[in-house]
Structure 1
Amino acid sequence: MSHPARPPLILGSSSPYRRELLTRLRIPFDVAVPDIDETPLAGESPEATALRLSRRKAEAIAARHPDALVIGSDQVCTLDGAQLGKPGTHERALAQLQHMRGRTVTFHSALCLLDARTGAAQLADVQTLVTFRDLPDAELEAYLRLETPYDVAGSAKVEGLGIALLARVESDDPTALIGLPLIALIDMLRQAGFPLIGSVA
């Protein structure tokens, strides 16, 4: 149940990582899973892909919940201008990690807060630079077998053992790499007049 002063807040995501992050703000929210095509468009930049998909996810949920504030988020991992998606399999994950070792990868974590009542949307793209350690295949294989990170872009869960693969993380928003930039989201919620700290739950 939402406090009367608040519109319902809905996280449009199937990600357990985003759900856990949003829980940290101690505000009531529901979760709904958007059903959209996440294929990048031809010639689309990584930033544009992430922003478009974050908005499309929010719009898909807002269409079913016209009184809500809806959060959409999407993450795109890039190296040498090419997008690296969710690997899906052990073999693809190993190939990703081999390609990234010793190099710096850019993660675009896009965020959309859509007010379904008015159609007003706030958008942000938070970039994180991640430098991977130059590790041998045996360590990469061992990591993949221990954590099976086949559902995350870039094949490394920074919130888990994946931190052992990283030499450096540079970002203005420490939760962006996990998938939901909370500093940017708090800015958006405040702009939307959504009560945060000190409000009655």
Structure 2
Amino acid sequence: MQLVLGSTSPYRKALLEKLGVEFICIAPDTDETAMAGETPDMLVSRLARAKAESVAHQCSTPSLVIGSDQVACLDGQIIGKPLTHAKAFAQLQQASGRLVRFYTGLCLYNSQSMESQIQVETFDVQFRPLTDQQIEAYLTKEAPYQCAGSFKSEGLGICLFEQLTGRDPNSLVGLPLIALVDMLHQAGLDPLA
């Protein structure tokens, strides 16, 4: 079976490349709008599965499809990708000195059996108290406007944090590799074989 990453994210692609397995990338066609009353973990779980299933329908050969989705939450409220400098600035001001929890949904979908393995990983980021000048300097240097929470932890964003807490730091970038390796093993694929 071919392995397919249901994402066009260069960050998720780079993470999956760490495992040394052959895979292809296909863009999912998924509406990412939250449903009324949906909790962050329910949202990312649903979207990870929807992305994997969407991509599986595009595959002409039996495939194991990886779907992933992530949201950041502050005070229980989802904060999305800022898309603009002004929104990123406001997000980082709000996060200054506070804890932001990331929820990353992961799905491994077998297109042959139509079975899914789904898991949600959480990862906590404790922000340093930040000045407006620090926020402006960070945004000017890294422009993380397509990133949930307005930062890139794999880059200069690490300067914004006091502490990171979670099982797998890859979750923060958008693809929890520890959970994925477990799922791949269950599907009969061992990256170390």
Question: Which band: TM-score by shorter chain?
Answer: over 0.9
Any unmatched runs of 5+ in structure 1? 1-6
In the alignment, which residue of structure 2 is the partner of 1:89?
A: 84
1:119 aligns with 2:119: no
4+ residue runs over 3 A deviation? none
In the alignment, which residue of structure 2 is the partner of 1:42?
A: 36
3-state DSSP of counterpart to 1:73:
strand
**Letter paired with 2:94:** H
Paired residues, what number? 192
Which residue of the other structure, out of 18, 27, 36, is the alignment partner of 2:21?
27
Query: How far apart, in 2, do the equivalents of 1:95 and 1:52 lie?
Result: 28
Q: What pairs with 1:28-177 in structure 2 (closer than 5 Å)?
A: 28-65=22-59, 67-177=62-172
- Provide TM-score, normalisation by structure 2: 0.98
Q: What's the % identity of the aligned pairs?
A: 49
Q: CA deviation at 1:195?
A: 3.0
- Provide TM-score, normalisation by structure 1: 0.94
**Letter paired with 2:83:** G
Which residue of the other structure, out of 180, 187, 191, is the alignment partner of 2:175?
180
Query: How far apart, in 2, do the equivalents of 1:169 and 1:57 lie?
Result: 28
Contact 2:181 2:190 in 1 (8 A): no
Q: CA deviation at 1:25?
A: 0.3
**Letter paired with 1:105:** V
Output the aligned Cα RMSD: 0.7
